[in-house]
């Protein structure tokens, strides 16, 4: 697959670049900084070299003809390097570090804060539709997701099947994050049923036949190794009683499908609906991460069960988005959005659905999902999708 430019913008100063395996972090940093000193900590020999004596990093940088960028790939493998990096940033003018990672767990325990805010924290996500342009295939994205490593393969289903096993082996087992890998694997599988749904930890623990506290720890690990994330309830200036539990998402629609067991009793439209909502969610996360304007992502749900799938909140406005896996817009599909607009009259509402037509219904802009994804760009506000006032 040809090299596709990303919306992510590199910084001239030091920064952490986190993202799940296969999102293209290594390719991006090597392309962006071709003259940088590159250190690959996926190489066991390099791990031994720096683990034995982290100060060797200073010796390597001292030997460079001029200060510049140093790329350390998978920094979480040797977190003992962080104090040395901190010292080098302080003492060497013009020296900047690009520190990539596919897991934040060990760094959380041993030292991201050691850099004292001297390195930005950035994230890379699967492809956005607008990055792919005419290469974007909506149906394939729903089926296989948008991981670069998957799109580059002639056998995407095989890559996805191996993906979770790779994570279990290299991020969980090798790092000894859990005592019982079998229980953790079962928790991953059971949690996949909660994708794009309100997360009930007690139910997951019951299905896994382990203690609730253990499941909470497993969910923390899933977030730390960047496989999953929780979406909190939007509560700002709330007038109604709201639900207290977050929703849960796996980071990519294809990874969700690879983890979610499908049986004869499953309804295909249910799995398709979860994959669709997850695809929208991963795009919104990437759009927020890459944009210059600071925005936050939530969902909204009242105690009585009235819900809006996504709420985007920022200095430039509030947007409510509902996702429906249907080809027709029914009045009931708008109920959550209309209730939200009663609560927040200045908000703008979108309904994303599988039909072909763009329509304005009761002040709600109804858009085909593919059109919405193709138009989502970090340099654009959602208001640019709306018709002129």
Measure CA 124 to chain center.
8
Among 84-93, 124-133, 164-173, the least confident range: 164-173
CA nearest to 279, candidates 321, 246, 314, 318: 321
Kindly state whether residues 204 and 341 are assigned to the same domain: no
Does 205 fall in a domain? Answer: yes
Instruction: List, for residues 11-41, the tens digit of each pLDDT value.
Output: 889 999 999 999 999 999 999 999 999 999 9
Measure CA 218 to chain center.
18
Kindly state whether residues 351 and 225 are assigned to the same domain: no
CA distance 218 to 325: 30
How many structural domains comprise the chain? Answer: 3
CA distance 210 to 203: 11
Cβ contact 329:366 at 8 Å = yes
User: Which residue segment(s) compose the domain that 337 sits in?
Assistant: 283-385
Burial of 91 (0-12, 13-18, 19+ CB in 10 A): exposed
Instruction: List, for residues 179-234, the tens digit of each pLDDT value.
Output: 788 888 889 899 999 999 999 999 999 999 999 999 999 999 899 889 999 999 99
Q: Which of 55, 89, 123 is the last residue of a domain?
A: 123
- Which H or E run contains 75? none
User: For residue 196, what is the DSSP state?
Assistant: T
Cβ contact 288:296 at 8 Å = yes
Q: What are phi and psi of 373, to 5 degrees?
A: -65, -40
Q: Is 342 left (phi over 0), alpha (psi -120 to 50) or beta?
A: alpha
- Here the CATH number for the domain that contains residue 378 is 3.40.1350.10
Instruction: List, for residues 296-347, the tens digit of each pLDDT value.
Output: 999 999 988 899 999 999 999 999 999 999 999 999 999 999 999 999 999 9
Kindly state whether residues 181 and 228 are assigned to the same domain: yes
CA distance 276 to 358: 18
CA angle 322, 327, 332 (to 5 degrees): 50
How many other β-carbons are positioned within 10 Å of the β-carbon of residue 247? 24
Kindly state whether residues 288 and 238 are assigned to the same domain: no
Q: What are phi and psi of 236, to 5 degrees?
A: -65, 125
Q: Which of 71, 102, 123 is the last residue of a domain?
A: 123
pTM of the model: 0.93
């Amino acid at each position: 697959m040809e090299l596709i430019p990303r919306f992510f913008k590199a910084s001239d100063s030091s920064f952490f670049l986190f993202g799940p395996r296969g999102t293209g972090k290594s390719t991006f940093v090597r392309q962006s900084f071709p003259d940088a000193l590159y250190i690959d900590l996926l190489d066991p020999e390099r791990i031994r070299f720096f683990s034995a004596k982290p100060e060797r990093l200073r010796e390597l940088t001292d030997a460079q003809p001029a200060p510049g960028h140093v790329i350390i790939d998978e920094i979480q493998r040797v977190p003992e390097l962080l104090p040395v990096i901190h010292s080098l940033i302080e003492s060497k003018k013009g020296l900047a570090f690009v520190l990539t990672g596919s897991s934040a767990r060990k760094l959380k325990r041993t030292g991201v804060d050691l850099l004292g805010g001297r390195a930005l924290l950035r994230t890379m996500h699967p492809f956005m539709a607008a990055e792919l342009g005419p290469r974007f295939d909506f149906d394939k994205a729903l089926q296989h997701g948008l991981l670069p490593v998957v799109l580059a393969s002639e056998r995407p289903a095989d890559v996805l099947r191996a993906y979770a096993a790779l994570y279990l082996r290299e991020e969980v087992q090798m790092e000894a994050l859990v005592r019982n890998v079998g229980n953790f694997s079962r928790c991953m599988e059971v949690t996949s049923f909660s994708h794009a749904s309100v997360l009930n930890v007690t139910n997951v623990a019951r299905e896994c036949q382990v203690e609730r506290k253990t499941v909470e720890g497993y969910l923390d690990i899933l977030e730390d190794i960047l496989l999953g994330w929780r979406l909190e309830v939007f509560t700002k200036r709330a007038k109604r009683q709201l639900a207290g539990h977050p929703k849960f998402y796996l980071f990519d629609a294809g990874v969700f499908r690879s983890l979610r067991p499908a049986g004869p009793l499953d309804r295909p439209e249910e799995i398709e609906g979860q994959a669709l909502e997850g695809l929208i969610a991963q795009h919104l996360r990437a759009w927020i991460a890459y944009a210059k304007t600071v925005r936050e992502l939530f969902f909204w749900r009242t105690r009585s069960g009235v819900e809006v799938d996504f709420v985007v909140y920022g200095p430039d406005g509030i947007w409510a988005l509902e996702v429906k896996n249907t080809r027709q817009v029914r009045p009931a599909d708008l109920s959550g959005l209309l209730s939200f607009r009663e609560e927040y009259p200045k908000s703008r509402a979108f309904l994303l659905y599988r039909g072909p037509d763009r329509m304005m219904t009761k002040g709600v802009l109804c858009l085909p999902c593919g059109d919405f994804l193709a138009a989502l760009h970090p340099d654009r506000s959602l208001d640019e999708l709306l018709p002129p006032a």
